[in-house]
Amino acid sequence: MSLLRAEGLCVTAHIGGVKVAALDGLSLALAPGKVLGLVGESGAGKSMLGRAMAQLLPPGFAVSAGTLEFAGQDLVAMAPDKRRALLGRQIGFIPQEPLSALNPVRSIGSQFAEHLRRLGVADWRAAALAALDTVQLPDLLDRFAHQLSGGMCQRVLIAMAFASKPALVVADEPTTALDVTIQARIVALMRDLQIAQNTAVLFITHDLRLAAQVCDEIAVLYAGRVVEHGPADVVLAQPLHPYTKCLLLAAPAMSGPRQALYALPDQMPGLRALAEMTGCRFAPRCPLARDACRKEVPALAGGAHKAACPHIAEIGKIAVSELAPAAVATTGETLVSVRGLGKTFRGRFGRKPTVAVHDVSFSIAAGEFVGVVGESGSGKSTLARLLMGLEHKTTGDIHLAGQDVGRWEAAARRLRLRTAQMVFQDPQSALNPRRRVGAIVTQALEAVGIGLAERRVRAAEILADLGMPQELADRAPSQLSGGQRQRVNIGRALCLVPKLLVADEIVSGLDVSVQAQLLGLLARLRTEHGFALLLISHDLAVVRYLCERVMVMRNGRVVEAGRTDAVFANPQHEYTRELLASVPGPAILR
């Protein structure tokens, strides 16, 4: 007897007069006390199931076919007040953004009280304290959300979700907004509570490895269809569907030989594109696809481990080669030399000053890729901004190409223009929505007054470098996909062929397959242009893939630095060890 059962569930969206199945024939079953992972990249429709349960589908979306049952009751046809009675009692939700899920103007206690009174608890205070205790939080009932960290807020929400001892908890990307070390703790906590209360959990995530760590079973979703479904460890160890396999090969690993990343072309089709698609929705990107795939929809077949692909016998053909060491002639010339760098932000309105960066010293040789890892608030972004002259240093020296910068503002600016460029994290914010792609990538030429004709030529070169079609030069950033936008973002920095690129979290927030494309692009551009890179990232695997050296930062200090393989294989500092242990995935895959 399964607790949650979906049979042929279809969620249809109306887009410009066309009906598109955002969820197409979803069939799942979740047994009591089990954890089911719903894994997919953005646009796969993985949040639709949770939304369909609560009848919170976006405008224009509706359940059009199939059934969705909770403990034998039809959730779709159920009367609204009956459904409301279930939600929050029998079915708990853990949201993605803990900070925005809590009301900022009400104390944690009053929000707890509201929830517990609804459950009919007489002594809410004692019950709330007990619930907080299960998530290892002290009495913070009188505090407000903004006084807590993101991880604490998420723990409060987990405590609330589990407070009613629900039969089912839906967790929609519960750790995406959190740091890796906190993610590890939250996930462990959820797992403990789930086992203790024998709760079933629907765990929605984009991270296949995290899902494998948390879940008993995994369903991989692609463009609204389940393409693979099976026991978590089996799916991860022996994926049957080409998409799952490609996804696994696209994510850089934390152990074993450094392998090239499998770069899936393009991206998941949007709802509009799906309207015109027949056959297997993965076929346009699939390395095993043949004509028949584009005509017939493959059925999900198999026993305990099912896959929706007729060519599972050929799955072994999808493989990646071992990564050759970067063929870059490093002259050994020092490009960046930083000594005793410090930055203290003045405390305003009587607050204490904040030390963002403290006594940091390092150097980067020409052509060298250096990674900086650490949690949010560790000072890694401030370090990048100091290098680029976007913040004024408090102490220390920065030498760029042998010259001291930061003393004479105008001279330093000229020097930086020729040697260093920065790639920003969020292409949405980093690309002017009112400009064309061609104009954005040649901004540096515009700055020195170079004519339109010459800029067009250079724009074409840069787009070719980025592996983007020429006609995109006349598009606006809003017409590009997320991956293309981030390429344009990189292209702008490359326009004057700088010796150093400073990249701040440039792949965070991107899907794994898009991330693989970008990392491959950076590796290729490196061999072509031979620039050095300071890569700031919270993702250790990305740093391991790209960088020869790594610096681990915590609270504004560099706690450990050295060759990447050495640091990751044999971490000396306690914090580095903690970071490494937090990387998601079953131990075998780390």
Q: Which residues bind another protein (CB under 8 A)?
A: 59, 388, 390, 413, 416-417, 421-422, 424-426, 429-432, 434, 443-444, 446-448, 492-493, 495-496
Q: Which is nearer to another protein, 341 or 506 (CB)?
A: 506
Burial group, residue 363, by CB count within 10 angstroms (0-12, 13-18, 19+) = middle
Instruction: Compute the least distance from the CB of residue 256 to another protein, in Å.
Output: 36
In the complex, what is the shortest distance from the CB of residue 430 to another protein, in angstroms, rounded to a whole number? 4
Angstrom distance (rounded) from CA 339 to CA 562: 16
Closer of 196 and 390 to another protein (Cβ): 390
Give min distance, CB of 428 to another protein, in A. Answer: 9
Choice between 193 and 431, CB closer to another protein? 431
In angstroms, give the least distance from the CB of 331 to another protein: 26
* CA 399 vs CA 337, 369, 552: distances in Å: 5, 17, 21
Give, as one character, the DSSP assignment of residue 376: T
Backbone dihedral region of 338: left (phi > 0), alpha (psi from -120 to 50 degrees) or beta?
Answer: beta
Pairing relation of β-strands 200-205 and 168-172? parallel
CA atoms within 13 A on the CB side of 147: 9
Q: For another protein, give the closer residue by CB, 448 or 587.
A: 448
Spatial CB neighbours of 170, under 8 Å, sequence gap ≥ 6: 50, 53, 91, 92, 93, 94, 201, 202, 204
Closer to another protein by Cβ: residue 230 or 491? 491
Q: Which residue has the tokens 């199939």?
A: 66
HEC profile for 85-152?
HHECCCEEEECCCHHHHCCCCCCHHHHHHHHHHHCCCCCHHHHHHHHHHHCCCCCCCCCCHHHCCHHH
Closer to another protein by Cβ: residue 89 or 458: 458
DSSP 8-class letter at 212:
H
Least spacing, CB of residue 445 vs another protein, in Å: 9
Tokens encoding 533: 């890179």
Give the nearest distance from C-beta 386 to another protein in angstroms. 14
**CA-based nearest residue to 341, from 417, 394, 266, 283:** 394
DSSP 211: H
For the CB of residue 496, give the shortest distance to another protein in the complex, in Å.
7
Taking Cα atoms as reference points, which of 26, 38, 10, 23 lies closest to residue 200? 38
Looking at the Cβ atoms of 307 and 502, the one nearer to another protein is 502
Strand-pair partners of 354:
345
Closer Cβ to another protein, 315 or 445, answer by number? 445
Render 438-495 in DSSP notation, one character per residue: HHHHTHHHHHTT--HHHHHHHHHHHHHHTT--GGGGGS-GGGS-HHHHHHHHHHHHHT
Q: Please, what is the minimum distance in Å from the beta carbon of residue 410 to another protein?
A: 11
CB of 488 to another protein, least distance (A): 11
**Cβ–Cβ < 8 Å for 278, 284:** no
Spatial CA neighbour of 105 closest among 147, 136, 139: 147
Distance CA 252, CA 14 (A): 37
Instruction: Considering the complex, state which of residue 92 and residue 477 has its C-beta at the smaller distance from another protein.
Output: 477
Question: Which CB atom, from 136 or from 478, has the smaller least distance to another protein?
Answer: 478
For another protein, the closer CB: 506 or 540: 506
d(CA 394, CA 388): 15
Q: Closest separation between CB of residue 409 and another protein, Å?
A: 12
Least Å distance, CB 497 to another protein, is 12
Q: What is the DSSP string of 181-208?
A: HHHHHHHHHHHHHHHHHT-EEEEEES-H
CB of 433 to another protein, least distance (A): 8
The residues with which 400 forms a beta bridge, in sequence order, are 336, 403
Of residues 181 and 421, the one with the C-beta less far from another protein: 421
> Which residue's CB is nearer to another protein, number 423 or number 558?
423
Are 462 and 404 contacting, i.e. CB atoms less than 8 angstroms apart? Answer: no
Closest to 197 (Cα-Cα) out of 157, 170, 159, 167: 167
> Minimal CA–CA distance to 277: which of 200, 225, 335, 226?
225
Closest approach, Cβ 434 to another protein, in A, equals: 5
Q: Looking at beta carbons only, is 439 or 512 nearer to another protein?
A: 439
Tokens standing for residue 547: 């960088």
Q: Which of 454, 458, 384 is nearest to 416 (CA)?
A: 384
Closer residue to another protein (CB): 221 or 440: 440
Q: In angstroms, what is the minimal distance from the CB of 448 to another protein?
A: 7
Q: How far is the CB of 160 from another protein (least distance, A)?
A: 30
